[in-house]
C-alpha cells in the first residue's frame, strides 16, 4: 500500500466513529503537542490510558477478561498499572500477536516482522490501515521535531541502505518509505536482495546497488537524507578509511567523493541495531563518519553532519529518536515511555536509574500496545516537551544453553551448553 492508499482506507475506518479513536486521530495530527509542557502531556497521557483501556474493554473479550483478572478498572487506571499490563516482546513471536488483536480488528493492513537476527521466531505484528496512517503522521512529526525542521514537500533526496523488499517486512523501512512518500521526497534503496540456492539450501544476502548509491552521491538535491543501520555507515566509512591514496584519487575522479556532501539540512539517520556486527561505540562511528560525510545547516553554514538515531522495534508504532550531541532519545508526546525495575518490575519514578524500557502507545487501535522489548535504559531530566530523555544502555541478554544441570544427571556438559 502506498501512503495515499493508507490514508484513504484509514479515513474509511469504522473505528473513527468511536469517540476515543476520533480523539486519537485528532491528537495525532496536532503538532502543537510538541510545544506543550511535560505536565500537560503527562496528564493527557493518563487520560488517554484510561480511555484506551476502556476502548479495549469494549472491543475485546480478551482484554475485558484480562483487566478483570488483573483487577484493573479502566476508569481508575494509572501508570503503575502499565507495569502489570506490559508484555515481554517475546510473547509476540510467531503468531503471538494474534491473541491481542481486538475482536473487530480491521482487515487490509500489513504485517511487519523483526529481522530475526536473534535466532528465534521473529516478532510479527499486524498493523491495520488506520494504525498505519497514525504511524506515518506520528513518526513524521516526531522526526521533524528532532530534525529541527519540517521536511518540505518534494524537496531533497533520500538514500536508504536497505533493499526495497524490506519495505514490506521491517517497520523501520516502511516508516521511512511511507513518510517520504507522504512528503513526496524521492527515496533510493542502496541495496539489492539477492536470493540463491546452494546445496539445496535457500540463501539470501544484501549487496550494494552501486548505481543508486552513486546517483545519491552525485545528486544536487538538498537536503540529502541518508538512512542506514549503524553497521551501514560504519562499513561505508571504513571503506574510505582503508583506501590507499591511489584508490582514493581514482574514486574521487569517478564519484566526486569522499567526502559525500549531504548539503543543506543533510542528515544521517541510523536505526535498527547492530544487525549482528561487532560495532565500535556510536560516538566513534559518528566521529569517523564526519571525515567522509559533510553537511550544512539550513542557513548554508558548514556543520558537522547531524546524526539522528532511531530506536524502534517492530512492536512499537512510534520510535524514540535522538540527535547526536544535543538530544537523547525522546518519544512521541503521546507515547508513554517508562522504565521498570529489573528486580521488582515496578515502574521506576526517579531519573538516573537503569531500568527495563517499557512503552505504552495509547494511539494504537488494533491492540493494547504496551510491552517491554528487553532493553536496559536510563532516563534523565530534560527541558523538552517530554520532561525526560532516555539513554540506551544495552540489550538484556538471555543466556542460551543450560548453566546448570539436573542434579541427578543432565548430560555431558560440553554437549549441552553453548558457552565456551
Partner 1 sequence: MALTPLSNRAYACIEKKVGNHVVAEISEDGLSDLFSKATEVQNRLCSIPLEERLIVIDKIGKAWAEKHRKGELDALKSELSDSTGYSPGMIDLEFSLVHSAINALSIKQNLDASFPPGISCLDRFTKVGNDEYCWFRPRGPVFIISSGNSLIPPLIPTTISLATGNMTLLRPSLANFSGVKAVYSLLEEMGGDVAELMREALTISYFSHDSPSLEYLLSKSKIGVINFWGGEPARTEISRRVSSNPSHPALIINGPLTGYAIVDAAGADESAALGLAKNILLYDQQLCSSPTEGVFVGGWAEAVEFVNRVGKRLDELTEKLPPKLTESHAYIIEAVRRSLQFKGSMVFKSASSPSWTIALSKSRSILDDAIQAFPEFGLHARRRFIEIIVVENYEDALEMIEGLPKRKSFRGIDGVQSVGLSVSDDVRERLCKGLAERGIFRILPLEDMYMRSALEPYDGMNLAQAFTYAVYRRDRILAE
Site for partner 1, rule CB under 8 A:
66, 69-70, 86-88, 90-91, 93-94, 96, 120, 342-345, 356, 374, 396-400, 402-417, 419-420
Cβ proximity to partner 1: between 89 and 294 the closer is 89
Decide if 123 contacts 91 (C-beta within 8 A): no
Cβ proximity to partner 1: between 360 and 386 the closer is 360
Give me the least distance between CB of 64 and partner 1, in Å please: 13
| H or E element in which residue 377 lies | strand 375-381
Phi-psi region of 245 (alpha: psi -120 to 50; beta: other; left: phi over 0): alpha
**What's phi and psi for 85, nearest 5 deg?**
-90, -20
Give me the least distance between CB of 372 and partner 1, in Å please: 9
Decide if 357 contacts 394 (C-beta within 8 A): no
Cβ proximity to partner 1: between 94 and 154 the closer is 94
Give me the least distance between CB of 28 and partner 1, in Å please: 27
Cβ proximity to partner 1: between 55 and 372 the closer is 372
Decide if 209 contacts 190 (C-beta within 8 A): yes
Phi-psi region of 225 (alpha: psi -120 to 50; beta: other; left: phi over 0): beta
Give me the least distance between CB of 413 and partner 1, in Å please: 6
The 3-state DSSP class for residue 122 equals: coil
Residue 226: strand pairing partners: 159, 268
Within 13 Å and on the Cβ side, how many CA atoms surround 404? 3
If 0-12 CB within 10 Å is exposed, 13-18 middle and 19+ buried, where does residue 129 land?
buried
Cβ proximity to partner 1: between 122 and 208 the closer is 122
Give me the least distance between CB of 333 and partner 1, in Å please: 27
Contacts of 239 (CB under 8 A, 6+ apart): none
Give me the least distance between CB of 163 and partner 1, in Å please: 29
| H or E element in which residue 150 lies | none
Cβ proximity to partner 1: between 32 and 344 the closer is 344
**Range list of β-strands (E), 221-344:** 224-228, 260-264, 267-271, 293-296, 302-304, 307-311, 320-323, 327-330, 336-340
Cβ proximity to partner 1: between 197 and 414 the closer is 414
Give me the least distance between CB of 378 and partner 1, in Å please: 16
Cβ proximity to partner 1: between 280 and 410 the closer is 410
CB atoms within 10 A of CB 328: 21
Entry field: residues in the chain: 420
Give me the least distance between CB of 237 and partner 1, in Å please: 34
The 3-state DSSP class for residue 133 equals: helix
User: How many whole angstroms from its chain centre is CA 195?
Assistant: 26
Cβ proximity to partner 1: between 239 and 405 the closer is 405
Query: How far apart are the C-alpha atoms of 97 and 125, rounded to whole Å?
Result: 6
Give me the least distance between CB of 364 and partner 1, in Å please: 17
Give me the least distance between CB of 373 and partner 1, in Å please: 11
If 0-12 CB within 10 Å is exposed, 13-18 middle and 19+ buried, where does residue 251 land?
middle
Pull the grid cell for residue 309: 538515531
Cβ proximity to partner 1: between 14 and 419 the closer is 419
Amino acid at each position: 500500500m502506498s501512503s495515499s492508499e493508507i490514508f484513504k482506507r484509514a479515513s474509511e475506518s469504522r473505528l473513527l466513529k468511536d469517540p476515543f479513536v476520533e480523539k486519537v486521530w485528532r491528537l495525532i495530527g496536532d503538532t502543537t503537542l510538541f510545544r506543550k509542557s511535560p505536565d500537560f502531556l503527562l496528564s493527557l497521557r493518563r487520560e488517554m490510558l484510561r480511555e484506551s483501556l476502556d476502548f479495549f474493554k469494549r472491543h475485546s473479550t480478551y482484554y475485558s477478561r484480562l483487566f478483570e483478572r488483573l483487577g484493573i478498572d479502566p476508569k481508575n487506571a494509572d501508570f503503575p498499572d502499565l507495569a502489570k499490563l506490559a508484555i515481554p516482546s517475546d510473547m509476540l513471536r510467531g503468531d503471538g500477536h494474534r491473541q491481542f488483536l481486538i475482536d473487530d480488528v480491521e482487515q487490509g493492513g500489513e504485517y511487519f516482522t523483526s529481522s530475526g537476527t536473534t535466532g528465534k521466531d521473529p516478532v510479527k505484528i499486524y498493523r491495520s490501515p488506520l494504525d498505519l496512517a497514525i504511524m506515518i503522521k506520528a513518526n513524521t512529526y516526531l522526526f521533524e521535531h528532532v530534525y529541527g525542521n519540517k521536511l518540505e514537500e518534494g524537496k531533497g533526496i533520500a538514500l536508504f541502505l536497505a533493499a526495497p523488499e524490506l519495505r514490506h517486512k521491517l517497520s523501520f523501512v516502511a516508516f521511512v518509505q511511507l513518510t517520504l512518500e507522504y512528503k513526496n521526497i524521492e527515496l533510493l534503496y542502496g541495496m539489492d536482495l539477492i536470493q540463491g540456492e546452494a546445496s539445496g539450501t535457500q540463501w539470501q544476502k544484501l549487496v550494494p546497488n552501486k548505481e543508486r548509491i552513486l546517483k545519491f552521491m552525485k545528486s544536487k538535491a538538498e537536503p540529502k537524507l541518508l538512512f542506514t543501520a549503524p553497521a551501514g555507515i560504519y562499513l561505508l566509512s571504513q571503506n574510505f578509511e582503508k583506501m590507499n591514496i591511489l584508490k582514493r584519487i581514482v574514486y574521487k575522479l569517478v564519484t566526486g567523493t569522499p567526502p559525500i556532501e549531504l548539503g543543506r539540512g543533510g542528515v544521517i539517520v541510523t536505526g535498527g541495531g547492530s544487525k549482528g556486527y561487532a560495532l565500535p561505540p556510536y560516538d566513534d562511528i559518528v566521529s569517523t563518519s564526519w571525515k567522509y560525510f559533510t553537511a550544512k545547516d539550513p542557513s548554508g553554514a558548514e556543520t558537522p553532519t547531524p546524526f539522528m538515531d532511531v530506536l524502534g522495534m517492530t512492536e512499537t508504532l512510534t520510535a524514540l529518536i535522538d540527535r547526536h550531541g544535543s538530544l537523547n532519545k525522546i518519544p512521541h508526546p503521546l507515547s508513554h515511555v517508562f522504565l521498570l525495575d529489573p528486580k521488582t518490575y515496578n515502574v521506576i519514578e526517579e531519573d538516573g536509574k537503569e531500568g527495563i524500557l517499557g512503552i505504552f502507545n495509547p494511539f494504537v487501535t488494533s491492540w493494547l500496545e504496551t510491552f517491554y522489548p528487553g532493553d536496559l535504559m536510563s532516563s534523565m531530566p530534560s527541558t523538552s516537551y517530554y520532561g525526560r530523555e532516555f539513554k540506551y544502555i544495552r540489550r538484556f541478554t538471555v543466556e542460551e544453553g543450560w548453566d546448570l544441570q539436573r542434579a541427578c544427571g543432565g548430560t555431558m556438559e560440553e554437549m549441552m551448553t553453548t558457552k565456551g
